[in-house]
Structure 1
């Protein structure tokens, strides 16, 4: 649910607007909704490039005011200021691409780079030393030093897999850091660069990504095998012995070989609920998108419709059918997808060095470089504890904009720096300098980049909206059973029902078990169907059955028409099912338990509308129609 609320926020990709912050389209209790903010939200939520006209602006403003009223209600309850909320909010915004990171290099060159790399796949292992987004400079430097030490061990012949198992802070550590095969756009850009630029058997330089520091060992490279479309029938290992799994998958495979219907067998047996009703169909997939052992079998099939013998993987058992092989798409076919990935992934971000130089130039960086050089030389010579710190601590190591960064901050980041070389000290200083400059730019970004400020506000208000909707609407509807029943009783006429039957559905892989149900079961008065069925069947037969209760209409199955009578049993041989009609329910109105999901949704909508009516009554809303007319008029020019 939270994800769905946040979908309205989108990515940082809205069109450039003319920002007139002094002009407002509306006010709530005197607080303005600026023309710029409104246009940003309006244009971002348009599904197509329809012209901006007054009616559409007016309609959207009405919806936007409802949104703002809910957020205002959340603020009044203190939502948005709790530690838990701020932690979640900061987690979201840490993933937003900062506007100042944009690389002026043409997108076309990046598209060509991706397309060229897509011709090849890389098999690599890595070691990750994580850095939290909020890490202080000392922690960051410690992580870098640890990564550097591990890289030196690997270069000197240490077992990379063992180093990964013992040190990598990543889920792949248990596999010796192995990531298997992957291609371009599968990994974050810095990691991808390291993998593609390192020769087979080589160890990469230290790679910095948003996750931390990596070192990569490239195990192999090969031409891309492309993508295949497959279908599968899957049996999970959960709750199933290896012997029973092997036996059942062989039985299913034999049925297919003897002409059994693939879709029906999939519907009956597969444990993959996502593909059960579409014949086990999986999307086109390549390396890294499905387990490698699965893809190896799929790549080995030559013709569409060919079915491989059962495959046992770590997840369970598969029967794999090849449906199609995708030819390598042309550059023009892939261009839109690559372009979108470039924007989403931050591939067009500046390198750290270029970024720092850009921000220095923009923000008037100033520094006494000779003093810094002398200080670093003294630390290397005598150690930080022996330096005359009081004399230096309050002096400025550099100035960025109006902000002075004192030497004391740099000293604190070093810890007790004894016996450290000038080169290492300079590396540490460069990391410190970059973090301080970026920290300063983060503080300026909402003022320098108005759309970025709007985006941050969208995330904040979107999370607040989720919490207040949960409190005022969703949880109320779930917890208030009396209110739900009262709402249903007041609106029964909205839930009219045709004639239908309450039906027990009995399934079994063995048709003999179903024959025994048909020949043995007798209806009994005042006894539940399931308990009576259990009492009348042999235990081993009953335990092999799947039993569920459902509601059907007469038209749902051909066999219903001639068996439409209470306490009737009949089979559906093609599905290996027996249907037992327990009750014919006359047409009229649905009972609450039959349509509870729909009633719940309608009740939530009603609660929300009633809540909004109350919010509009208790808050003062002013709309400037002249500004809306002016926006529409400007659009026509």
Structure 2
């Protein structure tokens, strides 16, 4: 959702423009009663300049139009009360809480944890583990006894036999984890794995999943990242006559004969996530991909461009091609990335503890007399209500700087948590412990409430999300959903623009491909003699893969077909296509035709939305007066 909202804020940028410092506070433009300073404009303009793809958007006048349109939409959203809706308030609150966590951390502790994370990123551990899960605290002791028992067996028994007898995939897990490095496991597990010597088994430890023991099999320097392209033929095929293993071998033979890996991946790979890029995958390291044989095969390729033999994974048959290999980057290059990861995982609790210590020192705190407070309660049951007379509960209990918290605030805090209090707990100890929690909460609450004034970067990011969320909501109501629901308008737009909505012409039949033109001449002659595809394949491919067949419907813009060609029924001529040759036996031709409204509905909606938005912007420009100080604008370019 956040990525969508950021994209909605601005899908454009520009060359950096700058104004003198003295102009930053001046009003560059106004939209109705809202004044926009030079600084406000520049912050958004320069921040997004790297995102621009359309060169026309780099023009300052075009940019201004888009910027003003953006501000007009926000103006209308607030005028219509979108910022008061419960759904908006809830989502904005959730994002604000996430952002606050990133800005309320101890830098020194963070640096130590980042250094540790880097050391664990350049090394990796191979391990096996046993996990005993439990549902409640009452089950915890039984789970601990069970993990102690299993640890003894884990140390002394063969892993395979232990897994066979104990692993049930529900409450007990016995698993081989392979190699992993930092951030691949929860922090407690990572700590145990990296701190346990090779060949030894850890003592039981607890994570949010249950009790574990981990056996370390090996430690080694990380292999870094590898990037490969691959061609995948899925294990399951719609065409029952296509045998995945045979097809991958056909493709492998074509590659050995010089065919383009990129072209074959685009045309034949079943991995749609990478086929459009010629099979190129994102870089990955140990533990990033669930198939161990795939990862091992990738790292075994040593020379750029080297090909693997066909391999089979749980997904299908693959051929890999090495694109690049890269070691772990130097610390300084990935420091910021590691910081973000540290702040997002369990390490953040350590950071919070240290941050609390600093807040205690930073702010002026007036604390209560807890003994005096405790004496006002005579109770044996801590779960009963914590109540005092109004004359007492309205008194000041805690003060952080100028922020006051009353006794009533602390009583509400106690009552909210009373069900978790144990009856055996001493009253004074209970109050002291809960006060620690209360003080911690209020210190961080105070820090968060004042952060928007203390940190400009935080304030700007929060504003971006706030505006992006409003823009998303109003665009959804006014344009996207409105267009979809306006059936009469859609049909009228389709009627007025029917020539825009046509199908793509296609041919049906058999296409044969080879990098040897002479082989296609043989195919052509055999077809003319009435030979079947199967007979032709058996004859020509008897010793090596020289040709490859594809059957079905082919739209004219299909990359398998030569472009700008007038096809006719029957056996075609032989066409040169990239580094290969193709020939077709066409059984039917389907011309382009005007689509029905239902068949073109998606495209009609998209274009109709553009029309609605254009009309809406015109209306907003009339409703809200826009004034631009061109003198200030031009003075800074």
Scaled by the length of structure 1, the TM-score of the pair is 0.67
Matches within 5 A, 1:136-215: 156-157=148-149, 181-184=179-182, 186=184, 196=194, 201-202=201-202
Structure 2 equivalent of residue 537 of structure 1: none
In structure 2, C-alpha distance between the alignment counterparts of 1:469 and 1:603, rounded to whole Å: 14
SS where residue 271 of structure 2 aligns? coil
Structure 2 equivalent of residue 310 of structure 1: 311
Judge which range, 475-484 or 595-604, deviates more: 595-604
Decide which of 589, 595, 600 is 1:582's aligned counterpart: 589
The question of whether the paired residues in 2 share the 8 Å contact of 1:506 and 1:547 is answered with: yes
Structure 1 equivalent of residue 281 of structure 2: 282
In structure 2, C-alpha distance between the alignment counterparts of 1:58 and 1:146, rounded to whole Å: 68
Cα offset, 1:101, TM superposition: 1.8
In structure 1, C-alpha distance between the alignment counterparts of 2:510 and 2:27, rounded to whole Å: 64
From the superposition, tell whether residues 19 and 71 of structure 1 become closer, same or farther in structure 2 (CA, over 3 Å).
Answer: farther
1:550 is aligned to 2:555: yes
The question of whether the paired residues in 2 share the 8 Å contact of 1:6 and 1:462 is answered with: yes
Cα offset, 1:120, TM superposition: 1.1
Structure 1 equivalent of residue 244 of structure 2: 248
From the superposition, tell whether residues 447 and 226 of structure 1 become closer, same or farther in structure 2 (CA, over 3 Å).
Answer: closer
Structure 2 equivalent of residue 465 of structure 1: 471
CA RMSD of aligned residues (A): 5.7
Cα offset, 1:472, TM superposition: 3.1
In structure 2, C-alpha distance between the alignment counterparts of 1:487 and 1:2, rounded to whole Å: 37
From the superposition, tell whether residues 419 and 45 of structure 1 become closer, same or farther in structure 2 (CA, over 3 Å).
Answer: same
Cα offset, 1:8, TM superposition: 6.0
SS where residue 555 of structure 2 aligns? strand
In structure 1, C-alpha distance between the alignment counterparts of 2:634 and 2:143, rounded to whole Å: 64
Structure 2 equivalent of residue 612 of structure 1: 617
The question of whether the paired residues in 1 share the 8 Å contact of 2:9 and 2:70 is answered with: no
In structure 2, C-alpha distance between the alignment counterparts of 1:329 and 1:615, rounded to whole Å: 52
Cα offset, 1:617, TM superposition: 0.6
- The C-alpha deviation readout for 1:233-282, integer Å capped at 9, x for no partner, is 324355679x989x522452266258464736545543211222444332
Matches within 5 A, 1:86-165: 86-98=89-101, 100-105=103-108, 112-122=115-125, 123=127, 156-157=148-149
Cα offset, 1:57, TM superposition: 7.4
From the superposition, tell whether residues 237 and 256 of structure 1 become closer, same or farther in structure 2 (CA, over 3 Å).
Answer: closer
The question of whether the paired residues in 2 share the 8 Å contact of 1:226 and 1:286 is answered with: yes
1:435 is aligned to 2:441: yes
1:384 is aligned to 2:382: yes
From the superposition, tell whether residues 390 and 374 of structure 1 become closer, same or farther in structure 2 (CA, over 3 Å).
Answer: closer
Structure 2 equivalent of residue 295 of structure 1: 295
Structure 1 equivalent of residue 424 of structure 2: 419
From the superposition, tell whether residues 193 and 576 of structure 1 become closer, same or farther in structure 2 (CA, over 3 Å).
Answer: farther
In structure 1, C-alpha distance between the alignment counterparts of 2:128 and 2:624, rounded to whole Å: 59
- The C-alpha deviation readout for 1:498-538, integer Å capped at 9, x for no partner, is xx9822244589999x99997899xxxxxxxxxxxxxxxxx
In structure 2, C-alpha distance between the alignment counterparts of 1:166 and 1:615, rounded to whole Å: 58
The question of whether the paired residues in 1 share the 8 Å contact of 2:508 and 2:589 is answered with: no
Structure 1 equivalent of residue 271 of structure 2: 272
1:342 is aligned to 2:339: yes
From the superposition, tell whether residues 335 and 448 of structure 1 become closer, same or farther in structure 2 (CA, over 3 Å).
Answer: closer
In structure 2, C-alpha distance between the alignment counterparts of 1:461 and 1:446, rounded to whole Å: 16
SS where residue 359 of structure 2 aligns? helix
In structure 2, C-alpha distance between the alignment counterparts of 1:351 and 1:458, rounded to whole Å: 27
- The C-alpha deviation readout for 1:562-599, integer Å capped at 9, x for no partner, is xx25545538795686555626779xx99999999888
1:622 is aligned to 2:627: yes
1:482 is aligned to 2:487: no
In structure 2, C-alpha distance between the alignment counterparts of 1:255 and 1:320, rounded to whole Å: 9
In structure 1, C-alpha distance between the alignment counterparts of 2:332 and 2:474, rounded to whole Å: 41
Aligned residues: 558
Cα offset, 1:286, TM superposition: 0.7
The question of whether the paired residues in 2 share the 8 Å contact of 1:147 and 1:214 is answered with: no
Cα offset, 1:118, TM superposition: 2.1
Decide which of 569, 572, 588 is 1:570's aligned counterpart: 572
In structure 2, C-alpha distance between the alignment counterparts of 1:90 and 1:128, rounded to whole Å: 36
SS where residue 70 of structure 2 aligns? helix
In structure 2, C-alpha distance between the alignment counterparts of 1:57 and 1:128, rounded to whole Å: 62
In structure 2, C-alpha distance between the alignment counterparts of 1:163 and 1:81, rounded to whole Å: 52
SS where residue 365 of structure 2 aligns? coil
The question of whether the paired residues in 1 share the 8 Å contact of 2:364 and 2:400 is answered with: yes
The question of whether the paired residues in 2 share the 8 Å contact of 1:154 and 1:203 is answered with: no
Structure 2 equivalent of residue 528 of structure 1: none
Scaled by the length of structure 2, the TM-score of the pair is 0.67
SS where residue 233 of structure 1 aligns? strand
In structure 2, C-alpha distance between the alignment counterparts of 1:19 and 1:179, rounded to whole Å: 60
Cα offset, 1:398, TM superposition: 3.5
Structure 2 equivalent of residue 73 of structure 1: 76
Cα offset, 1:404, TM superposition: 0.9
Cα offset, 1:473, TM superposition: 3.2
